[in-house]
Structure 1
């Protein structure tokens, strides 16, 4: 026989079991004793067996009721957890928020954002994933990640983008004569060892375009895949490279820093974007997290512009 009793009947039954008395259960629940008696009678009708025997000692559980009480405790405990879960989901701190970031920002910008967010919402659960921009774009579009930060040129139609431009600059070995210049131009790099990311990366393409406009051809001596690797090669005195402002700040803070960051003209921006899926709605926690991330990206955009942007005559 299916049980068709409601949660209120189970709560009343549980309280009678705990107190051992219909009258005490009624007082604790703020009900009349007849109301409690009716609820127990209805529950007995639903389950098809007697739950209590009344004698001069009080109310005594039947053997069947003892076993039922164990199950009722588990059911009501689960309901309590469900209430907590729904409250948490409504308030935006339940569930795990998965944020994906391109490698250049993952070890620096993202921990700072998460730290500020968790300071305000310590009960939140966060997951930071680091992948290439193309993978992040695909997986955010599919709903596997809640949101991501990518290089904007890796975007796909299924994404909603909020774009930012991070002004880049040249990393120059500190002992190199060009390290003392206030601004560097393509002509200044003639004959120098140039380090770049791969030839299809937006920074390399934009640098090649700047060289072309100056009547020169960019010839990279060394290629690698990550800006931190580029910066470390410069730090070893191997060559000169265009790097993003986040990597530049991280390098300049190191005790073993042996490079200087010099503005480059024409100004070259690294285009990045905060992306969400066009077809998978952002969770409440994701919506609450996004302003922290957008504020940080906007701050980097402004700071890099102030430090490295060059106004051409």
Structure 2
């Protein structure tokens, strides 16, 4: 059944949820209580299920109403972002740029890029969040974030890719390990015979493309340590004298914490990074400028890592 609703009905529904009563919603919307009641009733008729049950003098959303509210709230977040965009376009400068980034990028690479635009544009406001890739993609599709910096194998369905690149994983090594003073790529096929590795969820990321299944199983079989993120993996490399396979951005963070070094890997295991948005057309000029700055910076970093690893095309 096709649902026919209008924005005013959704506003009344949202206000009633937030206020917990028709009276509060009417005051928030500056309309009469009967008008709010009628808007809610029309919305329920169109939706085909009750949105509220009366509890005392107030209203409580039904299970269906709560599910419906999640979608409505996401829509209004998108409207709020469009209003911010309209303001940015009107003033030709300034505005807010909200960014969600994976942890490996959020600590070093992202602040570098932000600082360049931040210092030259005093009217631009940044809102930065560190999340995992699935959460970032969801937030982008809901228009809760302008830009997302994600790390997994393409494709990224439901969003527009503004920039993407890939880089080889590296091997994290304790600085007092015999391998730390040697140079050149390490061979995982050789190391797996003598060394112990940290794994992630007792496995290795699917985004490590082209890894031999037998090698992956050997690495897993020699692991007694499983972690959920790279900072913890880096700490265990330092403290437990084990090895880890890491993306170079996380590896740099671990090196800055001290006690570890990293070397390139003979086997090319690929780490993907992409900048995404809901639609390029919805971004402000400042946001697009940031994407260009960040893309140039990140690609320069990737080129250096690839040259070091001997994997440059």
TM-score range, shorter chain: 0.5 to 0.7
Change (3 A) 1:221 1:93: farther
Change (3 A) 1:309 1:218: farther
Structure 1 segments of 4 or more deviating over 6 A? none
Structure-to-structure mapping, 1:55-134, within 5 angstroms: 89-90=89-90, 92-134=92-134
- CA shift at 1:196, angstroms? 2.2
Q: Under a length normalisation based on structure 1, what TM-score does the superposition of the two structures give?
A: 0.64
Structure-to-structure mapping, 1:1-313, within 5 angstroms: 89-90=89-90, 92-153=92-153, 156-161=156-161, 162-182=163-183, 183-189=185-191, 190-198=193-201, 199=203, 201-202=205-206, 205-206=208-209, 209-210=211-212, 212=214, 216=218, 218-219=220-221, 220-254=223-257, 257-278=258-279, 281-310=282-311
- Structure of larger gyration radius: 1
Give the number of equivalent residue pairs: 224
Contact 1:137–1:154 (CA<8 Å) still a contact in 2?
Answer: no
- CA shift at 1:127, angstroms? 0.4
Uncovered stretches (5+) of structure 1, i.e. residues with no partner: 1-84
- CA shift at 1:285, angstroms? 2.5
CA distance in 2, matches of 1:246, 1:92: 34
- CA shift at 1:95, angstroms? 2.5
CA distance in 1, matches of 2:178, 2:95: 54
Structure 2 counterpart SS, 1:153 = coil
Contact 1:134–1:155 (CA<8 Å) still a contact in 2?
Answer: no
Change (3 A) 1:289 1:214: closer
CA distance in 2, matches of 1:114, 1:214: 37
Q: Under a length normalisation based on structure 2, what TM-score does the superposition of the two structures give?
A: 0.64
- CA shift at 1:271, angstroms? 0.7
CA distance in 1, matches of 2:187, 2:312: 12
- CA shift at 1:92, angstroms? 4.4
- CA shift at 1:143, angstroms? 1.4
Tell me the alpha carbon deviations over residues 243-286 of structure 1, each in whole angstroms, 9 at most, x when there is no partner.
Answer: 121222233334xx222211111122211111111487222331
- CA shift at 1:87, angstroms? 7.9
User: Which one is further off, 164-173 or 283-292?
Assistant: 283-292
Tell me the alpha carbon deviations over residues 133-153 of structure 1, each in whole angstroms, 9 at most, x when there is no partner.
Answer: 001011112211101100133
Tell me the alpha carbon deviations over residues 273-309 of structure 1, each in whole angstroms, 9 at most, x when there is no partner.
Answer: 1111148722233122211111122122112112224
The CA RMSD measured in Å over matched residues stands at 2.9
